[in-house]
Amino acid sequence: MNHTRGELFDPLFGAGPNPGDSGVAAAVSDRAWVVALLEVEAALSRAASAAGLVAAEHATTVTAVASRLAEPGGLDIADLGRRSAAGGNPVIPLVKILRTTCAADGVPTSAVHVGATSQDVMDSALMLLSRRAGHHLLADLRAAANSAAELARLHRTTPMVARTLGQQALPTTFGALAVCWFTGLDDATAGLEHALSALPVQFGGAAGTLAAVHPHGLAIADTLADELGLARQVVPWHTTRTPVAALAAALGVVAGALSKPATDIVAMASTEFGELAEGAPGGSSAMPHKQNPVAAITARAAARRVPGLVSTILSSMDHEFARAAGAWHAEWETITDLLRLTGGAAHRLASSLGGLHVHTDTMARNLDLTGGLILAERVTGALAAHTDTARDIVSAAAASGHPLEQDPEITAHLTEGELHDLLNPSHYLGHAVDLVDRALAVRSTQTDRTLGGLE
């Protein structure tokens, strides 16, 4: 089983097992969970061996057995799930299976699950799983941001209407809008990268004191982290859930950053706007003419489910004393779903942006839709040099429906040539082009620094 929810909806939201879909689904599948749990147990035996608590040959055997069990068909995941119900987590029956299997090769039970409690293994596996899934997510985020940046570069001077509160406002460029897309995605990517790199190992023993492996507990914890490629813990964080909360918050920001361009694309692909179209639009079961921006739509759908899950994680931070009853358990599937949904949203948005068709002629048409009224601000500024009632004059002209260049109170002060220039949308773009160039230049510098190993 390589999917989390099912074969019907996972592909729709970019998280399915189909070739070309996001790799996040497989990275957070039931099997991926079991693999991570077994890897933590194997690494723990090796860490204990490094501290002299487990024979080296026994640690090697535990690692080999764990690898065999992690293979497809190595153990019955459905049966493991049923057996997990009795103790409230899958580590308890998994450790029993691992110890029994290792015993057949002469490994004592003391060489497995050394000094650990179930939460240590679950938390460390969750961190390992999240980091792996996060790398797939980051790849799609970067692809989406790169496509948006390329759109900004190609359309840095392409005029279009800037809309505020659902209304036409002033002229801008499509490149300037795309800047909003890729800078948000880049910021969210950086935040997620930081959260993933900070994910720590968890090793505290039965009550967070590492009593069972004293005086070797701190050394084992550090070696365990190194074996798994996780950050070293300062102290056990079994009831201090900031690492989990920070990850959830970063995923929430990612979902929000994905929603911005997806929302714009859906609106701009509407029949009335007609400014954008996806390269592979979806159809309708009833209406043959429909060309729905399904990639952006499903990216929005997946992202919309994320804030509630972030809230679940934040509201589950109140772990009582040395082990939470319920709050800890609530995190496992919630983080899994957060990764799956943000991964799916990123994948779908990357697909949308990567094949986006920009209809510049329609953008130009929409600029002329108001007959020049979107340049009323500019006309008012020019008219103010001649009369103190400039705003009133322009407001009255706009309300009357008269074209501004034909209103007698305006033409009394401004010449035909002046009005022609004032009402040219491409002459009132402000710093739109400069902002595109600046954002792309900064992005290029940051990319060069990253490739150079400075970040």
Catalytic residue among 5, 153, 232, 323: 323
Sole residue written with tokens 């600046």: 438
Q: Which two tokens stand for residue 122?
A: 């679950």
In which element (H, E) is residue 164 found?
strand 159-164
Is 284 among the residues known to form the active site?
A: yes
Helices 118-154, 91-103: axis angle to 10 degrees equals 110
395 catalytic? Reply is no
- Can you tell me the distance from the alpha carbon of 153 to that of 358, in angstroms, rounded to the nearest whole number? 13
Rounded CA-CA distance 341/307 in Å is 11
Whether the Cβ atoms of residue 84 and residue 92 lie closer than 8 Å to each other: yes
Phi and psi based region of residue 14 (left: phi greater than 0; alpha: psi -120 to 50; beta: remaining)? left
C-alpha torsion angle, residues 148, 153, 159, 162 (rounded to 10): 40
Residue 55: burial class (beta carbons within 10 Å; 0-12, 13-18, 19+): middle
User: Going by DSSP bridges, is the β-strand pair 276-277/167-173 parallel, antiparallel, or unpaired?
Assistant: unpaired
User: Contact at 8 Å (CB) between 359 and 307?
Assistant: no
- Tokens representing 262 are 């997806």
Find out whether 339 and 251 touch, Cβ atoms under 8 Å. Answer: yes
Out of 110, 197, 270, 284, the active site residue is: 284
Residue 162 β-bridge partners: 170
Q: How far apart are CA 171 and CA 185, in angstroms?
A: 24
Distance CA 58, CA 324 (A): 33
Which residues carry out catalysis?
A: 284, 323
